[in-house]
A = this chain, B = another copy of it.
Amino acid sequence: MITAGIVGGTGYTGVELLRLLSAHPAVTLRVITSRAQAGQPVEAHFPNLRGVVDLAFSEPDPATLGDCDVVFFATPNGTAMEMAPTLIAAGTKVIDLGADFRLRDLEEWSRWYGMTHTCPELAAEAVYGLPERHRAAIRAARLVANPGCYPTAVQLGLMPLVESGAVDTAHLVADAKSGASGAGRQPRQHTLLCEAAENFHAYGASGHRHMPEIRQGLSEAAGHAVGLTFVPHLVPMIRGIHATLYARLHDPATDLQALYENRYADEPFVDVLPPGSHPETRTVRGGNMVRIAVHRPVDSDMALVLAVEDNLVKGAAGQAVQNMNLMFGLDETAGLAHTAVLP
C-alpha cells in the first residue's frame, strides 16, 4: 500500500482528495494537515466523511510527511514551493495542486502570482501533470505540477486542433464557465448563496492567471506561440466547468469528429461524444471524465468545441490521483471509477 499525506486539507480540493483516496484500493491515508483545524476530526469539518475517514487534522510536520510515499499539496499558492524541497530530498513524491510549479517562465509566474519564486530548480524539474500530453514524463517524475481546473478543460478541448495544425492559432477563444466551488471554501461575499445564486457574470475578463498556463500548454502542443483570449464566468451551481472553444479552421472541410476520436481513442478519461451532442456538466459530476463534442456551426468557418469536466475531480483531485497512479506504476484508472449521480 502507498502511504499518502495531504497538506492543507480543509478546502474543497482537500475534501475531494480525501473522498477519492479513502476509497482507493492501493492507498493508505496517513496524515492530513491544517494549521487552523489541528486537532479537529475530519468529520466535523466534512460531514460527508463521517464513518469514512477517521483521521484528525494535524499541524504540518516535515518528518511525518517525509515518511509518506506521496504528499499532495492542496494549499494556497506559495506553500508548496517552500516545503517540497525537503520532501523530495526525503524520497517522497510530491503532487502540487496549486500553481507553484505550473509555469516554465518564472518571471511570468511572478507577474501573475505576485511573489518571487523560491524554488527555481524544482520548477525546472517539475512535470506538468496533464497525462493526455505528458504521460511518459509523469511516470518518471518526482514532482508533478497538477494543472489548473480551467487549463485542463481548455487544453484538452483545443489540443487536437493545435497539435494537428488545423486552425489559426493566433486567435483562439476560450469562453469558460465554472461552478462556485472553483472559488474555494474561504468565506467571501461574492460566493455567498445570496450573491451567486440566480446570477451570472464574467470575472477576470481583462486577464486571469489561468491564461498564461493555457497559452504555455497550447504553444508547446502547437510548436509555436499561440494567441488566446480566455474569459471565465461564474455559474450559479456548485461543480462543473464548461469550456466553449472557438478556432478558425484553415480548411472548413476538416473532419473534426474523426480528428478528436482518433486523438483520444486510447484515453481512459476523455470521452468524445457522438456528432451533434452537447455535453452536460452533471454527467461528469464526481467523476474524472472529460466529455467533448465538436461542432461546425452553420454558415461559419469556425471549429466549435464543447468540453466539460468536474473542476474538483479531473480539474484537481481526480487528475492528481491519476498522476499518482502513473508515478507509482498503478493502473491509471485505479480509484477513479465514479458514476455521476443523476439527477
Interface residues of A (CB under 8 A from B): 12, 15, 19, 22-23, 46-52, 171, 173, 175, 177, 179-181, 185, 187-189, 191-203, 205-207, 211, 215, 227-231, 233, 235-240, 242, 244, 246, 248, 271, 276, 278-283, 285-286, 289, 293, 295-302, 304, 306, 308, 339-343
Contacts and interface: CB of A to CB of B under 8 A. Distances in A.
Contacts of A227: 299-301
Contact of A339 (B12, B52, B201): B52
23 contacts: A12-B343, A19-B339, A19-B342, A48-B282, A49-B339, A49-B342, A173-B246, A177-B177, A179-B200, A193-B196, A198-B198, A198-B239, A202-B242, A202-B278, A205-B293, A206-B276, A206-B296, A211-B297, A211-B298, A233-B242, A246-B246, A285-B341, A341-B341
Between A47, A49, A276, the greatest number of chain B beta carbons within 10 A of the residue's beta carbon is seen for A47
Q: What are the nearest 4 A-B pairs in CB distance?
A: A187-B187, A207-B298, A194-B343, A48-B340
Contacts of A239: 198, 341, 343
B201 A279 contact: yes
Contact of A231 (B181, B228, B283, B297): B297
A237 B189 CA distance: 16
A171 B195 CA distance: 35
Given A285-B341, A343-B239, A271 B50 contact: yes
Contact of A238 (B181, B240, B295, B343): B343
A236 B235 contact: yes
Contacts of A282: 48, 198-199
Contacts of A196: 193
In the complex this chain forms, how many copies of it are found?
4
A200 B343 contact: no
Nearest to A192: B191
Nearest to A171: B248
A242 B201 contact: yes
A192 B182 CA distance: 12
A283 to B, nearest CB: 4
A340 B276 CA distance: 33
A244 B233 contact: yes
B280 A199 contact: yes
A229 B52 CA distance: 35
A7 to B, nearest CB: 20
A202 B51 CA distance: 22
Given A180-B194, A206-B276, A187 B185 contact: no
A289 B51 CA distance: 11
A235 to B, nearest CB: 5
Contacts of A238: 193-194, 197-198, 343
A249 to B, nearest CB: 11
Contact of A192 (B187, B198, B206, B271): B187
Contacts of A298: 206-207, 211
A304 B193 contact: no
